[in-house]
Structure 1
Amino acid sequence: MWIEKVFGMDSLFTQNVCEDLEDIPQTEEPVWILGRKYNAMKELDVIRASIESKLWFTYRKNFVPIGGVGSTFTSDKGWGCMLRCGQMVLGQALVSLHLGRDWTWTPETKDSTYLKILSRFEDRRAAPFSIHQIALMGASEGKEVGQWFGPNTVAQVLKKLVVYDEWSSITIHVALDNTLIVNDVLRQCKVEGATTAEADGDVPLKAPSQWKPLLLLIPLRLGLSEINPVYINGLKTSFQFPQSLGVIGGKPNLALYFIGCVGDEVIFLDPHTTQKTGSVDQKVDEEEVDFDTTYHCKVASRIAITGMDPSVALCFFCETEKDFKSLCRSMQEKLIESEKQPLFELCAERPAHWSPAEDVMVAEALGAAASNLLEFEHLDRQYDTSDEEFELLG
């Protein structure tokens, strides 16, 4: 269960600074950061610049109360770490779409698009992806403000919130029951009314063509109290896909955002630092410039992959339909066919054992069917099926 002790969090989880440079080991093994491969012996500065460019969301204090008059929630210290991890993966998806996957941040950055992305996560009620919006959306689905989220819960809440922010221009698909239904994703991402001519043999035909950029989240339970070793290789492989946005998860009782791996260790950003609330706004004065640096972690951390909590959500970003189909092929080849016990199942259509209620829910969410759907082998399930901590929010 995701439980954090409220006391002592600041002192226990204060961000390390650069005096202790053990963030990336001096090793010949490749370092993987969100689908990018690096050489630690030759590219240490590049690796650190990449890590520092990721949006880092942490506990904040002294923000407007969540829940209105009478609320005492002016900080998310002690309960908001998984919500902050959700913000990090969504923030990285927006950066990838609007600025590019290889975009880098510096303290001098004043790019208007970057500032627009950041403003969406500020700790205020009006920001579409603020701690306020995430916590309140969770409350509307049975999670009271101040309760802890699991990876699946935050995935479901983010899926609902992105619908209301037109500028972000992405859609979120959350895979159900350890199964990715390829054609459901294709139907969801096709924009109705956009067509193009595609050849089917000698006969041209009209087919949906416009694609809504996709943040794909796959919640999984990879063991009971700890990760089953049979899943470790697949988990490490998932960080190597070009579409990777890391893993939302943690170590027992603590939520973390895993952005990469090296050897048998995973690299993560830790939200357990409590910082003051403020605004970067247009970054015109010294205070705003300084506040911008609080969204960027200078030094990442590492733990053994065996130390991860078994409740995780794999995260991928597919800007185009080609990206998604390429990801599916990589999953089929490297995560399913080559593993004795795959992390999850990949199917063309919903399995027969899914209930009619689930079919109705998915159909309503996806709308009209799209053409050009993929065919994938329906594989037998070979993994843990515990659904502990995977509450569906509607």
Structure 2
Amino acid sequence: MRRLQELLLGPRFTAANASSGSEIWVLGLCYKVSADPNNETLSVQAFEEFISDFTSRIWITYRKGFECVGQSKLTSDVGWGCMLRSGQMLLAQALVCHYLGRSWRREPGQPCSQAYLQILQTFGDSESCPFSIHNLLEAGHPFGLAAGSWLGPYALCRTLEALARADREQSQKKGGKRALPFAVYVVSGEAEGERGGAPVLCVEDVATLCSKWREPTEEWTPLLVLVPLVLGLDKVNPRYLPSLRATFTFPQSLGIAGGKPGASTYLIGVQDEQAMYLDPHENQQVVPVTPENLELDTSSYHCSTVRRLPLDTIDPSLAIGFYCRDRAEFDDLCARSSELAKQSNGAPMFTVAEKSAPPKPADSCNLDLEESIPKDPSSEDDWQML
């Protein structure tokens, strides 16, 4: 049974197979697991710190027994909600960074903090919870989301963007506090991520967004940056793997919503060529969360088993997330991303530009058909063709 489970979910990540001496990166933090037999104490300590970090990340899985989604009779998201759950985990990590800080760790057996419980409550499986699967489906309706249907990373990113916009408009009408305390910016290409070429993070567009989004007392609003990508056809093009791996070293890293073909996971760390992830494919009973119940058992929101899979086997369609608390962190993200693009050997996952590209002339499409087709299509780079 264990071998079958590991075949389906990936092998467990243990101290024994982590002691290669390579660094473990988890959402911007590094754990140096030494392979030196004379340095065993340091190795064990680093691995324990890594486990504490991993098990503190909020784990959101399939649930059963929730109220019907919309007009459907579905009371569970088994078989279709994994990308939504992956997106919820990425969003939850952004909220943890915002309210609790990246260094926050869960302490089993200790009373929960209200701030932590408030984060969990927003992901409850009810229309009354701002980031429930119910409200994600409502916000994503224009992008084809429907109860019982699977969605891709690009639609997920646009759904989170729409959810943030709706939350802001609602708070402005009622004068209440926003459930989402930051703006959401989706990095995309000329045709909203549908055509080839590397998507562009435009600094000018982000500044404009933040100026509209910020509170009167803020100089800059916190920001969630989402980058939906297609990095290959059937599998990730090997040229992207170094850049993909490097994003986990960014202090702003929120990980990746993606993972296995047709079965989304939440990738949060890497060691060498292996990625570590939280898997939403476990059906659990709904657990009502209230911030007042400090003794609540929240163990179903945390995973103690570290799973891993080769980075080069993940689905090429994925979404990378970054959280920037202020302008300095955003500028640092841009600098790191620009340097990563320079080191990509002509195959950047995305690029950074100060200003938006000027609109193309209206007659730019009236090109000679023969000129518009490459003479040798097979010579084009794969990333340009996607």
The TM-score with structure 1 as length reference comes to: 0.78
SS of equivalent to 1:77 = coil
Q: How far apart are the structure 1 equivalents of 2:8 and 2:63?
A: 13
- 1:180-219 equivalent positions in 2, closer than 5 A: 180-190=201-211, 210-219=219-228
- 1:14-93 equivalent positions in 2, closer than 5 A: 21=14, 25-40=18-33, 41=43, 42-68=45-71, 71-93=72-94
Deviations 1:241-296 (A, max 9, x none): 1111111111111101110100011111110000001213246487x32xx11000
Q: Does 1:242 align with 2:251?
A: yes
1:215–1:24 distance in 2 versus 1, CA, 3 Å: farther
Q: How far apart are the structure 1 equivalents of 2:337 and 2:290?
A: 40
Determine which of 263, 272, 292 is the counterpart of 1:254. 263
Q: How far apart are the structure 2 equivalents of 1:138 and 1:146?
A: 13
**Deviation, structure 1 residue 167:** 3.8
Indicate the RMSD between aligned Cα atoms, in angstroms.
Answer: 2.8
Q: How far apart are the structure 1 equivalents of 2:258 and 2:131?
A: 19
Amino acid at match of 1:61: K
Q: Does 1:347 align with 2:353?
A: yes
The TM-score with structure 2 as length reference comes to: 0.80
**Deviation, structure 1 residue 21:** 3.6
Q: How far apart are the structure 2 equivalents of 1:382 and 1:344?
A: 15
Q: How far apart are the structure 1 equivalents of 2:135 and 2:224?
A: 19
SS of equivalent to 1:267 = strand
Q: Is the 8 A contact 2:82 2:265 kept in 1?
A: yes
**Deviation, structure 1 residue 186:** 1.6
Q: How far apart are the structure 1 equivalents of 2:282 and 2:300?
A: 10
Q: Is the 8 A contact 2:214 2:220 kept in 1?
A: no
SS of equivalent to 2:91 = helix
**Deviation, structure 1 residue 139:** 2.5
**Deviation, structure 1 residue 136:** 2.2
**Deviation, structure 1 residue 192:** 7.1
Q: How far apart are the structure 1 equivalents of 2:50 and 2:96?
A: 17
Amino acid at match of 1:384: W
Residue matched to 2:377: none
**Deviation, structure 1 residue 149:** 1.1
Q: How far apart are the structure 2 equivalents of 1:145 and 1:192?
A: 30
- 1:378-393 equivalent positions in 2, closer than 5 A: 384-385=383-384
1:56–1:347 distance in 2 versus 1, CA, 3 Å: same
Q: How far apart are the structure 2 equivalents of 1:267 and 1:299?
A: 10
Amino acid at match of 2:119: I
Q: How far apart are the structure 1 equivalents of 2:28 and 2:244?
A: 13
**Segment drifting more, 270-279 vs 155-164:** 155-164
Q: Does 1:315 align with 2:321?
A: yes
Deviations 1:44-81 (A, max 9, x none): 1110110111110000011000014xx22110000000
**Deviation, structure 1 residue 156:** 0.8
Residue matched to 1:363: none
**Deviation, structure 1 residue 180:** 1.1
Q: How far apart are the structure 2 equivalents of 1:73 and 1:267?
A: 31
Identity among equivalent pairs (%): 34
Number of equivalent positions: 335
Amino acid at match of 1:43: A
Q: Please list every run of 5 or more consecutive structure 1 residues that lacks an aligned counterpart in the other structure.
A: 1-10, 197-208, 357-380, 388-394
SS of equivalent to 1:384 = helix
Q: Is the 8 A contact 2:99 2:115 kept in 1?
A: yes
Amino acid at match of 1:168: L
Q: Is the 8 A contact 2:267 2:277 kept in 1?
A: yes
Amino acid at match of 1:142: G
Q: Is the 8 A contact 1:23 1:301 kept in 2?
A: no
SS of equivalent to 2:255 = strand
| Runs of 4+ that moved beyond 6 A | 11-18, 192-196
Q: How far apart are the structure 2 equivalents of 1:355 and 1:65?
A: 49
Q: How far apart are the structure 2 equivalents of 1:117 and 1:284?
A: 13
1:338–1:293 distance in 2 versus 1, CA, 3 Å: same
Specify which structure has the higher proportion of helix: 2
SS of equivalent to 2:228 = strand
- 1:40-189 equivalent positions in 2, closer than 5 A: 40=33, 41=43, 42-68=45-71, 71-107=72-108, 108-163=110-165, 164=167, 166-177=178-189, 178-189=199-210
Q: How far apart are the structure 1 equivalents of 2:138 and 2:323?
A: 26
SS of equivalent to 2:249 = coil
Q: How far apart are the structure 2 equivalents of 1:172 and 1:308?
A: 25
Q: Please list every run of 5 or more consecutive structure 2 residues that lacks an aligned counterpart in the other structure.
A: 34-42, 169-177, 190-198, 363-379
Determine which of 343, 347, 352 is the counterpart of 1:338. 343
Q: Is the 8 A contact 1:218 1:315 kept in 2?
A: yes
